[in-house]
Amino acid sequence: MDATTKKALLLLKSIIFHYHGLDEDEKEMLENAADQLNGKDEMQWANKFIAEDYLSAFERSRGFLSKIFNRMAEADRIKYLVDVWEDTHQKGYVTEMETTALLTLSKDWKIEKQFLEEVKY
């Protein structure tokens, strides 16, 4: 996996977790994700991206993420969003803001219907 894709994956996970304020469990999950991808530098990049302007971080990330994810196969786009959805559940809760952010990204990536089919219970 190239560095740009690692940045996108880690930014995706990080931007969702930061949406309501990053807690210790989420921080640990992000560190583990960076370790699994061998992406410490890319995680630092994502953290810096968010810290540049926390309030606009999600909107700024949408353009970057769309460029990367819209080049991927549809199945991969769905997989990565579902992975983040499952991570939010792993920590024990999902906020309305996180859900809205994931739905917004699924719409940006033209996979809204498929994403909803995957995550509905």
Residue 42's domain comprises 3-119
Q: Do 36 and 111 touch, CB atoms closer than 8 A?
A: no
Q: Which one, of 25, 30, 1, 28, lies nearest residue 13 by Cα?
A: 30
H/E element holding 59?
Answer: helix 57-69
pLDDT at 63: 94
At residue 20, does pLDDT exceed 80?
Answer: no
Tell me the residue ranges of DSSP E strands in the chain: none
> How many residues are listed for the chain in this entry?
121
| Residue pLDDT, tens place only, 60-78 | 999 999 999 999 999 999 9
Domain count of the chain? 1
Q: Which one, of 8, 79, 57, 70, lies nearest residue 37 by Cα?
A: 8
